[in-house]
Each structure stands twice: as C-alpha cells, then as structure tokens.
Amino acid sequence: MTMHNYREDFSIKSSSDDIFKKAYHHSCRIRLLKIFLPLVALIIALVFSWFIFFSLYASSGNVVLKSEDDEIVKLIMVNPRLESYTNSHKLYWFEAQEVFQDSIRSEVIGLQGIIAEIPSGKLGPAFLQAQSGTYDHINNHLQLDKPFTIKTQDNMVAQFIAADIDLSEGQLKTDQYVHIKRAGLSLKANALQIREKGQKIYFQGDVHLVIDKQ
C-alpha cells in the first residue's frame, strides 16, 4: 500500500541516536497503518456488498407510482432490506428508507436513509450510515452525495461529506473534507482517493495528522 502527499511533522527532543530515531518513526508508521488498513478493508467490503445489493434489487419487485403531473412513472421500494452471508459465513445487511427509480433516468437508482452492517475480515463488523445516494447501474458507479459515516467495532470512525465509488475498479474518491479517527490517532484532509482496491491512498489539501504518543 502506498501513501502519497503526506508530511510527517514530529519533533524528538532528546539527543537519541539513529537507532532510536528509526524505531520511533517505524512505530509511527505502524500506528498509521492501523488507520489506513482498516479503512481500505472497509471500502473493499462496502464495494462488494453494494454490488450484491443492487444486483438483487434489479431482479426484485417494486411498487409503481405516478407523480402528481401523471407524466413521470416512478418505481419505489419502501424500507427494503437485504440480509445475507459471505463465503466465510459472516452476516451482512443493508436497509434503506426508500429506493426509487424513474422512467426518465432508468439507469439511475436513488436511495434515502441508508444503514448497513458490513463484515470486514478480522476487524469484525463495520457500520455504515448515509443520508442518501445514487447508483448508476450502466457505469457501475455509486455516489454518496450527502454526509456519511463508517464505524468499526473497535471505534475507528471515518466521516465523509460525500464520495464517489467506482464499484468495478474498487476505487473511492472525494474532494471534500474527510476525518478519520481512532484511539490515539486523528487524520483530517480536504480530499481523499483510494485507488487500485486500496493499494494506493492519496490525501490532499491541508492534511493534518495527530498522533498521541502515550
């Protein structure tokens, strides 16, 4: 995994030798990986689970409604829930207050009030809460256009204003504020890109990293 556009800003007050300094910076890198690796695992799990959700949605029944002007037909599913198990027998589920699709933009599926529990390997379950999103099934693209939060069982929290997710490539990008925090660690940036299914992570724009050495 490669991290770019990151600047360390530490000071070592003691006159330690090079071995101590190397050990210190190695410890800092290990702490950073404790943030980045869980985040990458969550993004990959999110992409995989959303892909399954939308595949099942496309084949399910819908309620047909019409708008007030009686011109636009809209397909609406109220309070849909998907619950299943991964190959390793881990439970995951998704819920939305509403999933909808209109006749003009039939390739786009809208979602409101999204909550989900996503398995993420050894990290245990992670929880997603999002206000809204849209899925383009032609381009296999998911856009979460309002604030959302991902939280792990061990209290790592990633807060986003919005994000675009390419489900085919396993990539996430946002040009808005991101805050990732965990016990002893806090990372803030004005932009984030996760590429190559988590192999490369780019932080940009007023990046602030705080590490509690205690």
Q: What are phi and psi of 164, to 5 degrees?
A: -110, 130
Residue 96 within any structural domain of the chain: yes
Residue 4 within any structural domain of the chain: no
Residue 74 within any structural domain of the chain: yes
Residue 102 within any structural domain of the chain: yes
Dihedral of alpha carbons 29, 189, 176, 123, sign: positive
Residues in CB range of 185: below 8 A, 6 or more apart: 31, 32, 34, 35, 209, 210, 211, 212
Residue 159 within any structural domain of the chain: yes
**Least confidently predicted of 74-78, 185-189, 207-211:** 74-78
CA dihedral (106, 109, 112, 115) in degrees, to 10, reads 160
DSSP secondary structure code for residue 161 in this structure: S
Residue 182 within any structural domain of the chain: yes
The CATH number of residue 102's host domain is: 2.60.450.10
Dihedral of alpha carbons 193, 195, 197, 198, sign: negative
Residue 21 within any structural domain of the chain: yes
Beta strand 208-211 pairing with 185-189: antiparallel
For 42, the domain range is: 15-211
Structural element, H or E, at residue 28: helix 18-58
pTM: 0.67
pLDDT tens digit string along 54-106? 555 554 444 545 555 556 567 777 887 777 776 677 777 778 888 887 767 77
Domain count, the chain: 1
Residue 37 within any structural domain of the chain: yes
